[in-house]
Chain A
């Protein structure tokens, strides 16, 4: 309890009871380990040895581009069973900031939510709530890149999205945290009739990253499209779970992920689609393509499909690719070294995901980031 006590001053008095309760639940559950079925490939028990201080608010973690949004103290929603129960409890114990916003109409400028921290062994816990009114349209960028002197930090965030009929949200998440960072993000989305949630997720860093995406296509015509790219080097571990519920007829979901693991990194993706009874004319496709760049790297890719309705069109698949030798020879026959050829082809593998980035400036940045990550890891193994 000392851990929580050291931080309780920063929590409003009237929330102490439920915060104390949440922290007790976190302590009882402990950091997740592979003993939990949904944590088969990740072990965070080592974090029990560490302590984190609440990050000083010097670096304001949350703001929006359309002028400063007043930060509201996030009211805690009722406890639900979360697959990362302990992390949810931890977030509840400490979360006191987050973007709480309803977007009406068409927002031309993207909203920015930064998840950066500063300092060593600091932590931050955020709880966001975003709602799009009927017919609204917006782009939101969640940005997580190392802040000043950041090292060994912990961030948990819960993001609840509600998309009303006919709305369209493009959500981009960029995670390029420092190599010792721990990140746990939980996204829950409810998509109404003819609304579209489009997501692009990029993961480049972090020591322990857990991303959970839960999307309910609740009404006819709802649509979910997600594109993911994990390009990992060093000792990064990125563990992602996505669960899409087709709960109404004529909904569409598209999931496409590219996983690249170099050095001793590890990428995990479990992408599940569940078609519930009555969700006729469901159209769903899940594709995961993986590329291992080192003997010591690991990728665990698992697409899952559960269908409880008739008259649906569902496809899923996972491929493990080696780099195309003919393409490598072609590039070498033009004067590129074997390492350059490998780097370019790996970049090309990632490009399919990067091409989905709607913001040109961000796309340029991401292309360069992937290029430098891969160049470094390829150079390390080149003969």
Chain B
């Protein structure tokens, strides 16, 4: 589903990704772990199409297509979803407005009819319940005045509504208490299917107790320096990243 080969990327004059390769198949959950500054968030944002990152080499193919050639919105409509590490507050644009516009954009892209207002509301309310939020949050501005945990739940809510094919979660677990972490994990697990793939970017092993990965990769110095099964996460939790950074 996602094939990254020898990816190099800069932000400004700084080189962040230096020959990163990764292959993610449908049905798989990959965890990307690594020390701060290794390029984890860069990878996530770059895949979503953030313009601050300039690709200087390598390729990214998503379902056989050149992902890097697509505008951010086209990537989203094609099923790529990024759960932001720091979701933006947008006062004046309600959560409902965003969800509706996002879902309609996707349906239109798939040549499907828009959902009528009644069905949409019922559908969304059910998802709101799933992430244990109050329905009245739908009328509030996007993430406006939300706590860190509420913002992350809202990301999962959007993900549940849009039902993406490739889920990229950037440190979605950071700053969450255990209840919120469980809600977030349940949301990810609910979408897990043989047709979908998940990439979890995380600094800690904690989330992986709830969302079992098939593969764990260590990103350090802009490259994947080690890959393994779920046991690698436990090893990292125990030993830290120092030994791998030295190797990188």
User: Which residues in A have some Cβ–Cβ distance to B below 8 Å?
Assistant: 324, 326-327, 329-338, 340, 344-345, 347-352
Contacts and interface: CB of A to CB of B under 8 A. Distances in A.
26 contacts: A326-B88, A327-B88, A327-B90, A332-B73, A333-B48, A333-B49, A333-B81, A333-B82, A334-B105, A334-B158, A335-B76, A335-B101, A335-B109, A336-B98, A336-B101, A336-B102, A336-B105, A337-B73, A340-B105, A344-B93, A345-B90, A348-B141, A349-B92, A350-B92, A352-B91, A352-B92
B76 A332 contact: yes
Contact of B102 (A334, A345, A347, A351): A334
Interface string B76-103: 1100011010011011110001100110
Contact of B77 (A330, A331, A335, A345): A335
Contacts of A351: 91-92
Contacts of A335: 73, 76-77, 101-102, 105-106, 109, 162
A367 to B, nearest CB: 10
B51 A344 contact: no
A233 B98 CA distance: 25
Contacts of B77: 335
B65 interface: no
Interface string B118-159: 000000000000000000000001100000000000000010
Contacts, number: 79
Nearest to A329: B50
Given A331-B90, A335-B102, 8 more contacts: A327-B88, A327-B90, A329-B49, A333-B72, A335-B109, A337-B73, A338-B73, A344-B101
A332 B92 contact: no
A359 B192 CA distance: 46
A168 to B, nearest CB: 27
Nearest to A341: B73
Interface of B: 48-51, 71-73, 75-77, 81-82, 84, 87-88, 90-93, 97-98, 101-102, 105-106, 109, 141-142, 158, 162
B106 A348 contact: no
Given A347-B93, A348-B90, A348-B92, A329 B51 contact: yes
A332 B49 contact: yes
B101 A340 contact: yes
Nearest to B78: A335
Contacts of B102: 334-336
B76 A334 contact: yes
A65 B230 CA distance: 72
A290 to B, nearest CB: 16
Nearest to B72: A332
A333 B76 CA distance: 6
Nearest to B92: A348
A337 B98 CA distance: 12
B93 to A, nearest CB: 5
Nearest to B104: A335
A331 B92 contact: no
A336 B102 CA distance: 6
A334 B51 CA distance: 15
Contacts of B90: 324, 327, 330-331, 345, 348
Given A330-B87, A331-B98, A336 B73 contact: yes
Nearest to A334: B102
A333 B77 CA distance: 9
Nearest to A330: B88
Contacts of A350: 92
A324 B88 contact: yes
Given A333-B76, A336-B73, A338-B73, A348 B48 contact: no
Contacts of B105: 334-337, 340
Contact of A348 (B76, B87, B93, B158): B93
